[in-house]
Copies of this chain bind each other. A is one copy, B any other.
Amino acid sequence: MFDTVKSLKRVDRATYEQRLPELRVELLNAQFDLREADFPVVVLVAGNDRIGCNEAVRTLHEWMDARYLPTYPFVSATEEERERPRFWRYWRVLPRRGQMALLVGGWAHGLIGDRVRRRLNKKAFDRQIEHAIAFERSLANEGTLLLKFWLHLEEKDLEGRLERARNDPDENWRVTAMDAALYERWDEVMPVADRFVTSTHTEQNPWQVISSGDTRTRSLRIAESVLEALRSGPPKPPAAPAVPDPTDGQPPPALESADLTTSTTKARYEKDLPKWQRRLRRLVTRARKERLSPVLVFEGWDAAGKGGAIRRITAALDVTDYRVVPIAAPNEAERNRHYLWRFWTRLPRDGHVLIFDRSWYGRVLVERVEGFAAPEAWTRAYEEIRDFESQLTESGSPLLKFWLHIDPSTQLERFQARETTPYKKYKITDDDYRNRGRWEEYVGAVDRMIAETSTKRAPWHVVPANDKRSARITVLKTICRALEKALDK
């Protein structure tokens, strides 16, 4: 991958000096126009020339309006970052539409560094590469302009650069132990870097490998590339046809197989509820000590009893142990970013239970059925969601997903009951009644969702909920059993 760099032509001083004044004007103007654009820009600057990466970013700061170039140097992860899946720290800083962010090192240096230091074994490294590819693909598909620069130095040039920097009193403070290590462990680092860059060099998100030996050439190539990209905007994502719902050869639709006649007597419920709550409480205390962070996702029909089921969970826990995140329409900051951003940024620290009352599945449910997401967007979402959830479970979050299932007549009864109950009245709107007209469409969307996103580590649990009592007990039981399994590992 890095061999190609040798054949690239150097930019001579005259060309550079002739081009520069105009280039700077063009860059500033393109940056100004970006504010009105409907896409965000992420520029990842990485490479085996760490000093060069910093220089390149400094040049961009000088040539562009540095006030609108928030820059994130990803050095060692903070405690809050270490307690979340690896990509949390990158999601956290994603810019909104009309904004640009410079990420220095980013997931490239993070993964290569951890592999070289043996914090990732080969299998884990490969898995993280898959996550990196999925992350970049999803950003691009959702309209982010993503540019990736790899600043490459040959071994002898790196040696020379370190030597010169060490002898220059204005520069030697920049030479860190890591720079020295990079050179000294060249034979270990470069195969890992090559593997990373080659694997993540996709048609949609290619690396631009740039020779870092000559400052003028490097600066000009990066700046021209940024300029061109700002002007043309993100490339159209590859035409991915919307995949129609499969019609046969599938497992029986999940909803149809749910037994809605399931029920529990009041007496039985009053005995079982405290029993399972006590069990849950003890398990959560253990989970906290083991630093597991269970994530519970509640989806289901309106009036299926999500809120009631959640209350039976939280009543058993200490307030320091959990957080409930209700998901409604996205706010302004959320609307202007990738649809998963608001979920990623809310992930819990180690040892906390996070409960989503509705979730990222809105993408393939309400957004699909109501037409808020285009067919290619929601069909793509299954894969994006699988990747997101696998990062959660791989980083130690048991993930449980519940679909609370009722039939249309039960729903109608509950709507009508709510209208006469003063403290629940506010939950009913005209929309709720209107949505009933699309019941069958939603059934199709739910069945497909369950088929596409039930994985071994994050299965869906369809909970018959015509009888609220049995639904609540089922939910509690399911969580307890999953936690027991996770804790026994």
Contact assessment for B319 and A71 in the assembled complex, using a CB-CB cutoff below 8 Å: yes
Contact assessment for B24 and A66 in the assembled complex, using a CB-CB cutoff below 8 Å: no
Known A58-B315, A320-B54, A332-B333; contact A426-B29, beta-carbon cutoff 8 A:
yes
Contact assessment for B32 and A426 in the assembled complex, using a CB-CB cutoff below 8 Å: yes
Contact assessment for A61 and B331 in the assembled complex, using a CB-CB cutoff below 8 Å: no
Contact assessment for B104 and A315 in the assembled complex, using a CB-CB cutoff below 8 Å: no
> Which residues of the other chain, B, contact A424 by a CB distance below 8 angstroms?
28
Contact assessment for A29 and B332 in the assembled complex, using a CB-CB cutoff below 8 Å: no
From A75-83, A213-221, A225-233, give the one contacting chain B: A75-83
Q: How far is the CA of A424 from the CA of B278 in the complex (A)?
A: 67
- A24-B423, A29-B422 given; name 10 further pairs at CB < 8 Å: A32-B426, A61-B314, A62-B315, A66-B311, A67-B325, A67-B326, A67-B357, A70-B323, A79-B80, A80-B80
Q: Within 8 Å of chain B (Cβ to Cβ): is A65? A: yes
Q: How far is the CA of A68 from the CA of B426 in the complex (A)?
A: 14
Q: How far is the CA of A307 from the CA of B66 in the complex (A)?
A: 9
> Which residues of the other chain, B, contact A65 by a CB distance below 8 angstroms?
307
Contact assessment for B331 and A71 in the assembled complex, using a CB-CB cutoff below 8 Å: no
> Which residues of the other chain, B, contact A54 by a CB distance below 8 angstroms?
318-320
Known A54-B319, A315-B62, A320-B73; contact A423-B67, beta-carbon cutoff 8 A:
no
A29 touches which of B67, B311, B315, B423 (Cβ 8 Å)? B423
Q: How far is the CA of A66 from the CA of B355 in the complex (A)?
A: 11
Please encode chain A, from 304 to 328, with 1 for each CB lying within 8 Å of some chain B CB and 0 for all others.
0001001100110011100111100
Q: How far is the CA of A282 from the CA of B171 in the complex (A)?
A: 10
> Which residues of the other chain, B, contact A68 by a CB distance below 8 angstroms?
326
In the complex, what's the smallest C-beta–C-beta distance from A475 to chain B, in angstroms? 15
Q: 24 A–B contact pairs at CB < 8 A?
A: A28-B426, A32-B426, A54-B318, A54-B319, A54-B320, A61-B311, A61-B314, A62-B314, A66-B324, A67-B307, A67-B324, A67-B357, A73-B320, A79-B79, A79-B80, A80-B80, A102-B319, A104-B320, A173-B282, A173-B285, A174-B318, A332-B332, A332-B333, A333-B333
Q: Within 8 Å of chain B (Cβ to Cβ): is A170? A: yes
> Which residues of the other chain, B, contact A69 by a CB distance below 8 angstroms?
324
In the complex, what's the smallest C-beta–C-beta distance from A35 to chain B, in angstroms? 10
In the complex, what's the smallest C-beta–C-beta distance from A31 to chain B, in angstroms? 9
Contact assessment for A78 and B79 in the assembled complex, using a CB-CB cutoff below 8 Å: yes
Q: Within 8 Å of chain B (Cβ to Cβ): is A57? A: yes
Q: How far is the CA of A139 from the CA of B173 in the complex (A)?
A: 44
Q: How far is the CA of A80 from the CA of B84 in the complex (A)?
A: 14
Q: Within 8 Å of chain B (Cβ to Cβ): is A281? A: yes
Q: Within 8 Å of chain B (Cβ to Cβ): is A25? A: yes
Please encode chain A, from 23 to 56, with 1 for each CB lying within 8 Å of some chain B CB and 0 for all others.
0110011001000000000000000000000100
> Which residues of the other chain, B, contact A28 by a CB distance below 8 angstroms?
423-424, 426
**Copies of this protein in the complex:** 2
Name the residue in A54, A66, A285, A310 with the highest tally of chain B Cβ atoms < 10 Å from its Cβ.
A66
- Nearest first, the 4 closest Cβ-Cβ pairs linking A and B are A67-B326, A73-B320, A25-B423, A79-B79
Q: How far is the CA of A307 from the CA of B424 in the complex (A)?
A: 55
Which residue of chain B is the closest to A349 with respect to CB atoms?
Answer: B78
Q: How far is the CA of A333 from the CA of B281 in the complex (A)?
A: 36
A80 touches which of B29, B78, B311 (Cβ 8 Å)? B78
Contact assessment for B319 and A57 in the assembled complex, using a CB-CB cutoff below 8 Å: yes
In the complex, what's the smallest C-beta–C-beta distance from A136 to chain B, in angstroms? 22
Q: Which parts of A94-117 form the interface with B (CB within 8 Å)? A: 102, 104
Q: How far is the CA of A318 from the CA of B57 in the complex (A)?
A: 9
Q: How far is the CA of A58 from the CA of B318 in the complex (A)?
A: 7
A104 touches which of B319, B323, B324 (Cβ 8 Å)? B319
> Which residues of the other chain, B, contact A73 by a CB distance below 8 angstroms?
319-320
Please encode chain A, from 2 to 36, with 1 for each CB lying within 8 Å of some chain B CB and 0 for all others.
00000000000000000000001100110010000
Which residue of chain B is the closest to A277 with respect to CB atoms?
Answer: B170
Please encode chain A, from 271 to 282, with 1 for each CB lying within 8 Å of some chain B CB and 0 for all others.
000000010011
Q: How far is the CA of A221 from the CA of B357 in the complex (A)?
A: 29
In the complex, what's the smallest C-beta–C-beta distance from A394 to chain B, in angstroms? 23
Q: How far is the CA of A333 from the CA of B333 in the complex (A)?
A: 8
In the complex, what's the smallest C-beta–C-beta distance from A157 to chain B, in angstroms? 21
Q: Which parts of A177-207 form the interface with B (CB within 8 Å)? A: none
Known A68-B326, A311-B66, A423-B25; contact A319-B58, beta-carbon cutoff 8 A:
yes
In the complex, what's the smallest C-beta–C-beta distance from A44 to chain B, in angstroms? 14
